[in-house]
Amino acid sequence: MTIENNKKWKELLPVISELSLLVSALCDFEDSLSIAASKDAQEEINALVTEAQPTLLRFKGLEKKREKLQKELGLAPTSLSALLKEIPEEEREEWAEKIEALEKNLNRFINSKENADRILQVRLSDISLQLEGKPEVTNFRDRRV
pLDDT digits (tens, 9 = 90+) for 26-53: 999 989 988 888 888 889 999 999 999 9
> How many domains does the chain contain in total?
1
In-domain check, residue 129: no
Q: Yes or no: say if 93 and 15 are a contact pair by the CB < 8 Å rule.
A: no
Range of the domain at 17: 3-115
Residue 77 included in any domain: yes
Residue 103 placed within a domain: yes
For the CA atoms of 65, 66, 67, 69, the dihedral, rounded to the nearest 10 degrees, stands at: 80
Question: Is residue 138 assigned to a domain?
Answer: no
Task: Check residue 108 and give its pLDDT.
Answer: 95
Instruction: Establish if 110 belongs to a structural domain.
Output: yes
- Whether the pLDDT of residue 144 is over 80: the answer is no
**Taking the model in full, what pTM does it have?**
0.77
- Residue 145's pLDDT band (cuts 50, 70, 90): low
Instruction: Report the amino acid identity of residue 50.
Output: T
Q: Do the beta carbons of residue 38 and residue 141 sit within 8 Å?
A: yes
